[in-house]
Structure 1
Amino acid sequence: MSSLDQENDGRDPLRDRLAGLPDSPGVYLHKDVRGKVLYVGKAVRLSARVRSYFQDTEKDPKTAQLVRLIADVDYIVTRSETEALVLEDQLIKEYRPRYNIRLKDDKRYPYLRVTLQEPFPRVEVVRRLADDGSRCFGPYTSVRAMRETLQHALRIFQVRTCELDLPHQTVPRPCLDWQIGRCSAPCVGYDNAASYRRKVEALVRFLEGEDASLVAELKAEMADHAAARRYEEAARVRDRLKVLETTLGALSPIHGLTGDLDACGIARDGARACGVVLRIRRGRVLTSHEFHFEDRLDSGTPDFLVQLLREYYPRAGDLPPLVLLAHDVPDPEAWRERLSGLRGRPVKLLRPRRGPKLEAVAMATANALHKMEARRLQDLSSPRRAAPERTAALQVALGLRTLPETIECFDISNFQGRETVASLVYFRGGSPLKSRYRRFRSRTVAGIDDFASMREVLLRYYTRLQEKGLPPADLVLVDGGAGQVGAARSALDELGLAGWN
């Protein structure tokens, strides 16, 4: 990574940096005066992309705010656009820049892991992938959906979840899972290695989305037991078959779709967005994965779609040969190469225009819209949870230099044209702090004069704060027009608070 030499010869070091940018693919990092990374991006041509930020063209307010904060630009040259794509992803995760699109629920999602490397494999829930020969399915953004899938799988295939080191470690009697039909109890010899391995392989195929062959195999197994007059065993297989058929019947088929694919949809509302990946196998929707994003720039919908690809696929347990997109994405060839590298085989990206594939993308987009609205309603019903988001949004909307952690709001009211009263409402961390609410009567203003009353109240209040050694709020809001704002600014100027928000 290059560094900026701070020279005191009158030159603009940022301009020197821009002049020296290479005409190569790579990743750039915008930094503020403290060296903090504000934004990470990639480019096919670093020189053209980075200089575009500083051209005299009209920019949206949020991008203009970012440009005002840029004091330094670092860059890393890569050998290809795909390499830049991978590096960009790594740097965003490392620095978490405030102006990049960010995942709102930035946490590790769970996977279902089948330990195929063990003599008697088990299925477990994990949050980290390991290259140890096991198979992982996920990530599941809904823990509830994952647990439902696991419960169905255990009832059908009876694979163990315990941590016994089989066959070296055994127990005298089977556990509760065997008694309720969720494990075939290889720990006590009720199931041999070959039979148990077949159950595990069937479980893997089930999680991969296979259906018809599994049903046929269970039917054949039930018939074999019945022909040999092993009626109890036949009844147990029948019960497993019923659970499998019920589970498969609950999956949503898309008419005309065959094969394995993912459908990716995006819904957005201003700075909020939700992305959904529908995991479709053999024409049926197996799982739905949702991701919620927030953005400090006016990014387009394709940018949110790129972030969805970036968040989901490096962690996906299995990649299909086809990924359907609701919108065209920038640099599609780089993304094809990136996803193909993750899968180990070719992956095709397609934006469908008609037919069943378009229906699949429409379903993903509709789910994204529904889940985004559900999250919005959830946030509205939880003020404490929504408060930090509201404060950050206010900083961006008003172009403030710092986050307004504390806010003081003033209003002037007149009662029957005679008495002038002012009120102060106080917010901390985006939530009202009623113990700091205040009410004032105008003392020095004769008659009705909102401007003079506003000035008087602010002078009295902030003089009192200074006498007590207390700082003013990060942001001062006044209700009214230019006159009220001018009166408030006059009071703050007089007290030496002119630089306040």
Structure 2
Amino acid sequence: MTVEKQKIISKIIRPATCLIFYLDKGWLSIQVFFIRQARLMKREKRLFPVVSTAPEEMTSFILQFYNRKNNVLPREVLVPNGLDKQVLSDILGIPVRTPQRGQKKDLLDMAQKNARIVLEEKFRLLELDERKTTGAMQEITDALGIPAGHKIEAFDHSHIQGADLVSAMVVFTDGQPNKKLYRKYKLRTVDHADEAASTREVIRRRYTRLLKEHAALPDLILMDGGEIQLEAAKDVLENELGIATPVAAMVKNDHHKTADLLASAGDQHLHLDPKSQGFYFITTDSR
């Protein structure tokens, strides 16, 4: 920690948590500072695409963040302007404030600067890597043995301590993120971490709607999981909805990092070339 940072929080005695966000190009960058005994004890960051409005996403994040099991509440929470502090305070049972001056205001400013820097770095890397995804779609469809296409929809389930289940859908056109088409689904029929049930619900909801709207289907659907998600997605698409869109699973290695593709349960992994654009795509952009 720099001398300047230490000086900012040197007189903040009460345990506090600072949560700040920075929004740009449809992405939300969140910084969480944990202040204990006048020291910055820990810092967390989050990056994700915005589906609703930034204040709504931030409010939802804060409530889920403090709903985690065994999470200890601070004496107060510091947030930026634009959030309904009274609602947050009533739910959390602790003061939620937006400081206008002094060291706490300086702390918010520092956190927002960090949030901006993190998001700008992400965009910089995406721009530098854009050329690497140009042929990714072709390589992936060739590896799967399916016709060449342009549009991929990829799904990833998440939860906090087994609750607050959400499935995010990201969309890629010719290997590039299409953020306007991103969607977030709060699961309605699943109340615990269940990969198969979560997959069935989100696939059913997404593609039932596309069929009703006579909208174009993607050329490929990717599930960020193994055989369980793959089979659940195929079952709903083929047996319930009559959709023949190819589905593949992004499988993880022993380090829990996406490392390959799986076309069907029981099959061998495709063993994509680690130096290929297709491998780069599934291990970075589509997660």
TM range, smaller chain: 0.3 to 0.5
For the pair shown, the structure with the greater C-alpha radius of gyration is 1
Question: Larger % of strand: which?
Answer: 2
Q: Bigger relative contact order, structure 1 or 2, given CA contacts below 8 A and separation 6+? A: 2
Q: State TM-score, norm by structure 2.
A: 0.44
Q: State TM-score, norm by structure 1.
A: 0.27
